[in-house]
A and B are shown apart, each in its own frame.
Chain A
């Protein structure tokens, strides 16, 4: 390309840079603000005027958060559903995908039709709720991980992944006397590591963020998730009195400062896995949206 820059180039570049810097600020600042405020004494935060760094630096909010039995329990449940949910989701989806990737599978056409209908139609929330209730899944930890075990989006991606593997891989294992279970666990799982990483991360993020099930399928207080507790505290801090003083004691923690801490705790793990996600998702979104 020619590299002579004229006045128009200069102007276009400037406008674009200004706009993009605005995008960065509006996206990143809310996260930074919450992070900064979670390290400021709650009672001091109510005075206002904090924009860039804490005025009364403290770890009280975090101490309060992790010593609060409700929050800690919620964190445990959320971590558990993320790990177990991602594990079950990956294994179950891969198993079905491996079966469906066999080109000579009897009834394959029927199976595919059933999968695709299930992808695009649903009975809606109310009948779904009735099904969960009849299976006695309501009010159990299982309701978080069992109904989400099969991910049809990743099922289709995994099928084409297995299809693209060289057929010799399976055939030679067959000749060596390996059964399908062995081939699946010893050969297919190890070669699909990148796929497993992507699936695990996406399903994990979904589990971590999910809240509708915690809010409506569970009444047991010990099974509430982090996001559910967050909704509770957001709703309660809508009442002004609550946002001023959290406890009558000597604590500097307020309902609002605790909410900010909870926000940080619930975003931090995503920020940690995010760099690993990034290299995969561009490919994923292309596969998922426009199929050409």
Chain B
């Protein structure tokens, strides 16, 4: 979409524009529109571009009392902040958690919306289909805080209904400590992310399935293909393009949590002192050392490393998407 805008623009930048006086005349003529746009541009300069310059902080000995100007005036620190992070005793653990959560989420939650969409597509009863869909989108609109609240109601060892039920019927002797066990954090994070976003992401695959020519199914049926054969030989190949594009775009946002949303919010909210060895990720660590301990430059350096990896992944996956399927983000 964006690319089109720019191309249209380039096409319009015709010869007339070279005339300085006419640019100014046109600008004055459309001044109201220009004010509309410039308000937005000023806004972007303040809230998007100034923080981008703030990245300098990572290479400085910045103190918060110096304000914005301090970003430029504080003394240089070279790569000291980066060195400090790489030699941090928790570095290995934090990087491992960040990568593990991201990769596990893609591996386990990417196929779910596809499977779910295929199952929905096989339903003949439209009322039931719409009902399942409506219910499945719902968690997408609920904040992570509510999801964590629900998690406590269900899985905490004191009040959790799951523990009480399992103990009540004698399956377990003492409560499971799912929420406070370092060994179960990854599984729980992946599971709750899948619960929250599966229905939402199925929309895109349902739309892709809807684009498949129905006569293919009829022809296959006449040739004697059963339900499963039709799913395998028509539905799956029919949505292959969409699956590839969505997968590649997911890889681009993998550090943020990919399709199924926020690693950051999950780790911050579901994390606690006990599961910290598996729940601390780069973003939460930067957040904590930055805002709670006031080590702004150090936190900015950690943030920067994460951003560089993310942006690289976005560009890489974008160019792969362009090559593989001809469609891309930008």
Contacts and interface: CB of A to CB of B under 8 A. Distances in A.
B143 A149 contact: no
Interface string B190-234: 000001001110011001000000000110011000111000000
Contact of B138 (A48, A160, A227, A274): A274
Contacts of B300: 124, 126-127
A193 interface: no
B269 A231 contact: yes
B150 interface: yes
Interface stretch (B24-32, B85-93, B97-105): B24-32
Nearest to B297: A126
Contacts of A208: 143
Contacts of B67: 130, 133-134
A285 to B, nearest CB: 5
A281 B246 CA distance: 18
B263 to A, nearest CB: 14
A252 B50 CA distance: 52
A103 B52 contact: no
B319 interface: no
A121 B311 contact: yes
Given A20-B120, A205-B141, A230-B145, A105 B37 contact: yes
A289 B161 contact: no
Nearest to A7: B226
Contacts of B26: 104, 106
B71 A23 contact: no
Interface of A is mostly: helix
A182 to B, nearest CB: 10
Nearest to B327: A292
B315 to A, nearest CB: 9
B296 A126 contact: yes
Contacts of A210: 143
A179 interface: yes
B307 A19 contact: no
Interface of B is mostly: helix
Interface string B275-306: 00000000000110011000010011001101
Given A102-B30, A291-B329, A33 B153 contact: yes
B146 interface: yes
9 contacts: A16-B123, A121-B52, A121-B307, A124-B55, A126-B290, A127-B71, A156-B1, A290-B327, A291-B328
Interface in A211-241: 211-212, 216, 227, 230-231, 234, 237-238, 240
A128 B143 CA distance: 22
A159 B195 CA distance: 34
A66 interface: no
Given A33-B153, A234-B152, A129 B291 contact: yes
A260 B210 CA distance: 40
Contacts of B218: 1-2
A237 B152 contact: yes
B49 interface: yes
B57 A126 contact: yes
A20 B123 CA distance: 10
Contact of B161 (A16, A33, A102): A33
Given A51-B161, A126-B296, 12 more contacts: A51-B165, A95-B39, A99-B34, A108-B12, A118-B48, A120-B330, A122-B52, A127-B57, A130-B68, A263-B153, A274-B141, A290-B327
A167 interface: no
A180 B33 contact: yes
A131 B242 contact: no
Contact of A126 (B136, B161, B286): B286
A278 interface: yes
A2 B39 contact: no
A50 B47 CA distance: 49
B46 A100 contact: no
Contact of B5 (A6, A159, A216): A159
A243 B242 contact: no
A13 interface: yes
Nearest to B218: A1
Interface stretch (A54-62, A69-77, A79-87, A109-117): A109-117
A98 interface: yes
Contacts of B64: 130, 133
